Chain A
Amino acid sequence: MAPMEPWERVWIDAEAFSEDVHSYINCTDCHGGQAVAEKDAAHTGLKPEVADDPETTCGQCHVDVAPYAKESLHNTLRGYDTALYARSEPEHHPAIEEMQSNHCDSCHADCGDCHVSQPTSVGGGLVAGHVFNRTPSMSQNCTACHGSRIKDEYYGAHEGIPSDVHFKQRMACVDCHTGDEMHGMKMEDVNHRYDGAQEPDCQSCHKIEMGTGDEEESEEENGIIREHVIHDETLMSCQVCHSTTYINCIDCHVEQTEEGTAFFRVDEHFLGFYVGLNPNQTEERPYKYVPLRHVPIAPDSFSFYGDDLLPNYEERPTWVYTTPHNIQRETPQTERCQGCHGNDDIFLTRDKLSREERRANRDVIVDEAPSMFGLGN
């Protein structure tokens, strides 16, 4: 697609927008400024980010959603704070916040970022002439931000790795990730995307295969897959068996141009699939084994903003619990028992880590692959 001209990005299609219920609201009600013809006066009091505080804009009508959306991970990016503050000390937080403001906060998504505009990665500007989409577009919103990991895995963009089975069944992001979940209405005080219950939950659709259907009927009548009963959720997450190779990022640093402008660089990645221990087994996520993905962090990632900003680098794994979006019905793990049992290749064992990373990952490392004759670890 040819890149849009700047005016096209902000073009309001009067005919289409007049069909939108939001056309009954004055522009200034959301955008601030003054409804006058003279430019400088019109721009006085303009809000650069309309929905920074969803409650005072969208929330005037969407009272049931906005208070939750305001506190959602999409809006607060609190997950970044959780991951970075755990590796630092309070005195480093101002420098880290400055770094986040310069490099991370562009990923922040307020109401309009999902419902009326699109990220710069897909051209930026308005999705459709300021017409609001009740349901965000998979390609123009969701995967425009969640690109290298989610999009490429889901669409099957990595050579030799098939697309997700749900993509093949024409399922969009919102078919699993509901509006309630996206607006943060499911749980309060969420500090990380893996806090609380598994949402979406595979079992909400795959009841029968998981053995959570009618318990009065026999396994055979119920269509229960025996392997699901043996390898229940206390032992592993669904992705351990049903995901395949995914992208792992290694190096991530704030660098600077010759002119001194700071920029974010992530330039190493590799495809791999590793199972490790779940360092945070909870009632909602009791899995012992989970797939692990390497996240792009190093002790000196943010040294541009100060020395030793991550003194507690080893307090959090660099291989983290992940839920890859390349689900397959059949994988090397489902093919035969030896796909996992006795197969150290797919487990994150100590020898796969550099010396510098061993302590940080002490809680997720598997000593050896579970044996066929009694489980190891």
Chain B
Amino acid sequence: MRKFLVLILALVMMLVPMVQAQEEVEVPEVVVERIMEYGELIPELDHYNTVSLDDFIVMLAEEEITILDVREDAEVEETGVIEGSVHIPLRTLGENLDKLPDQEAKIVVVCKGGFRATIGMTALHILGYENAFVLVGGFDAWVAEDLDVVDAPVEVEAAEVPEAIDPELMEYVAEYLMNLPENWGGVKAADLNIELIENPPDYLYDVRSAEEWADPGYIEGASHVWINEFIPMMEEWPTEKDANIVIYCASGYRGGIASTVMGLLGYTNVRNLSGGTKAWVAAELPLVQP
């Protein structure tokens, strides 16, 4: 009987670290490699591959581009889409790469305001679609200019997934997108301020440039890590993968890139300030200057 109890105890003791280990996502090496490559590419990207509405209209006129609308089905049914859009809801993007053109093609990702599209664009970059862009202001910006919409997206025949995409990478990114949280990992300015009063996040990262950090200033309590240096400094990121992390930039795009990358690297509690410091200031919340 005693031997039996010792055996049970030993089994329990073996299981405890296994249970704890399961909580931490195991990130495939290929994902880390791709993210590091992306980190080196980021400083070279013009406006971090965000496209203003004006530039987007020029692109539509002059170039062959794929418009990828990543909003939910109900949103698309309610509002229609920009003519020629391919519609793949963000959470299913990783499973529908066979509906996208080749990896060299220019893809402009569109959502309602730009938040989800940034996640989609970042995921596409990690998958090797280096000409993926995001429309600043999203579909709302398009509609605000009274530009035409059509009822339905284009039907796309599924083709082959590009062979260059590592299957393990594809599966991992698809899983990540599928499990995006209900609010896409965003936090509103007023809600962040409530948290800063009551239960501040473990880490608050400002990924804007040094010039922006100095003027108009930063959110008190933040640490400054420029987006261009964010990924190369990966080894200095928090060791606790479940740390409560909030990232912000000026409008939410660079913050979206950084938070998506951290999420892909197994950080389970990373959020991006919706609308960045512009939304923070619009809510009349204060910035401090160094």
Pairwise interchain contact A156-B198, C-beta atoms closer than 8 A: no
A142-177 Cβ-contact flags toward B at 8 Å (1 or 0): 000000000000011100001100011111100000
Pairwise interchain contact A163-B190, C-beta atoms closer than 8 A: yes
Q: Which residues of B contact A162 (CB under 8 A)?
A: 283-284
Known contacts A167-B193, A170-B193; A139 and B198 CB within 8 A of each other: yes
**For chain B residues 189-206, which have a beta carbon within 8 Å of chain A?**
190, 193-194, 196-198
* Chain A interface size, under 10 / 10 to 19 / 20 to 34 / 35 or more: 10 to 19
Q: Which residues of A contact B193 (CB under 8 A)?
A: 163, 167-168, 170
Pairwise interchain contact B198-A138, C-beta atoms closer than 8 A: yes
Residue of A139, A156, A163, A170 contacting most chain B CB atoms (<10 Å) = A170
B279-290 Cβ-contact flags toward A at 8 Å (1 or 0): 000011110000
- Tell me, in angstroms, the Cα distance from A137 to B283 when the chains sit together: 22
- Tell me, in angstroms, the Cα distance from A171 to B194 when the chains sit together: 9
Q: Count the B residues whose beta carbon is within 8 Å of the partner chain — how many?
A: 11
Pairwise interchain contact A163-B283, C-beta atoms closer than 8 A: yes
Q: Which residues of B contact A156 (CB under 8 A)?
A: 190, 283-284
Known contacts A155-B190, A157-B190, A163-B190; A168 and B197 CB within 8 A of each other: no
B234-270 Cβ-contact flags toward A at 8 Å (1 or 0): 0000000000000000000000000000000000000
Known contacts A155-B190, A163-B190; A170 and B283 CB within 8 A of each other: no
- Distance of B132 from chain A, by nearest CB (Å): 32
- Distance of A164 from chain B, by nearest CB (Å): 10
- Tell me, in angstroms, the Cα distance from A162 to B284 when the chains sit together: 7
Pairwise interchain contact B198-A168, C-beta atoms closer than 8 A: no
Q: Which residues of A contact B197 (CB under 8 A)?
A: 138, 167, 170-172
Q: Which residue on B lies nearest to A328, using beta carbons?
A: B284
- Distance of B187 from chain A, by nearest CB (Å): 13
- Tell me, in angstroms, the Cα distance from A139 to B197 when the chains sit together: 10
**Partner among A155, A157, A163, A172 whose Cβ is within 8 Å of the Cβ of B198:** A172
B162-190 Cβ-contact flags toward A at 8 Å (1 or 0): 00000000000000000000000000001
Pairwise interchain contact B194-A155, C-beta atoms closer than 8 A: yes
Q: Which residue on A lies nearest to B220, using beta carbons?
A: A170
Q: A155-B194, A163-B283, A168-B285 are in contact. List 11 more A-B contacts (CB 8 A).
A: A137-B198, A156-B190, A162-B283, A163-B190, A163-B193, A168-B193, A169-B286, A170-B196, A171-B197, A172-B197, A172-B198
Residues of A near any B CB (own CB < 8 A): 137-139, 155-157, 162-163, 167-172
Closest 10 CB pairs of A and B: A162-B284, A170-B197, A172-B197, A155-B190, A168-B285, A138-B198, A170-B196, A139-B194, A168-B286, A137-B198
Q: List 27 A-B contacts (CB under 8 A).
A: A138-B194, A138-B197, A138-B198, A139-B194, A155-B194, A156-B283, A156-B284, A157-B190, A162-B283, A162-B284, A163-B190, A163-B193, A163-B283, A163-B284, A163-B285, A167-B193, A167-B197, A168-B193, A168-B284, A168-B285, A168-B286, A169-B286, A170-B193, A170-B197, A170-B220, A171-B197, A172-B198
